[in-house]
Amino acid sequence: MMTLFQPGHFFYEVWIARGVLLSGLAITVASAASIIAIGLSVGILGGLCLTYAARPIRWVMRAYVDVVRGTPVLVLIFFVFYGTAIIGIDVSPFVAGVLAIGGFCVAHTAETVRGALESIPQAQSDAAKAIGLGFWGRLVHALGPQAVRRALPPWINTAVEMVKGTTLLSLIGVVDLLLAAQQAVSRSFMAMEFYGACLVVYVVICLGISQLGALVERRLAYIRY
């Protein structure tokens, strides 16, 4: 039993690195939460712009969404990370990375919201108009609730992608779970154990969110048009 915690054993190395591993996990969770918060708040606004805004605004938004969705997240991260330094804005790698992935999440969320809103039959909007609701009234009381039901399953997929995307922060030096594991590897040379354990943690988090999404999808399956 005692040999498990002798130097050279995986458990011993994990115990030695517990501080950095736990703070790495905290950074991963914090970055994922901030990215999803940015994506959700700005993305919903963006989706509304894509669907209802005046043409010039819609075009700008469309260009943004198409460019960001057509670029690898890693390139966006490096662009923001090195770009902010060049124009003299001093931000930490964490902030630069979260802004970059957050911007990516905004584009995906906006597209999901637009798709959900546009897939609602015209009759719903007409009916809401007929009972005298204004634009915001229609949005909040008639279209919004239906759009949420349609957007939620694909959006939860996006959320999982964002959690997976936080690993890219390690490439600009943010000590997230992956970089913490990497540091532990460079001391212990236990690459398989540490990356394997890291994989398990990410799979547990993402599978949890996916299962939640599947549950939501089943609960909403009764809605048919």
Smallest distance from the beta carbon of 54 to other proteins, in angstroms? Answer: 26
- Report residue 2 as tokens: 């005692």
Cβ nearer to other proteins, comparing 143 with 168: 168
Q: Could you please report the per-residue DSSP string of 176-195?
A: -HHHHHHHHHHHH--HHHHH
- Rounded to an integer, what distance in angstroms lies between the CA atom of residue 162 and that of residue 34? 10
Q: Which of residues 63-82 bind other proteins (CB under 8 A)?
A: 67, 70-75, 78-79, 82
Q: Could you please report the per-residue DSSP string of 60-94?
A: HHHHHHHHHHTS-HHHHHHHHHHHHHHTT----HH
Q: Which of residues 119-178 bind other proteins (CB under 8 A)?
A: 160, 163-168, 170-171, 178
DSSP state of 225: -
Smallest distance from the beta carbon of 210 to other proteins, in angstroms? Answer: 6
Smallest distance from the beta carbon of 182 to other proteins, in angstroms? Answer: 7
Assess 212 for contact with other proteins (CB under 8 A): no
Helices 191-219 and 144-165 pack at an angle, to 10 degrees, of 170
Judged by the rule CB under 8 A, the positions of this chain that interact with other proteins are 67, 70-75, 78-79, 82-83, 85-88, 160, 163-168, 170-171, 178, 182, 185, 189-192, 195-196, 198-199, 202-203, 206-207, 210
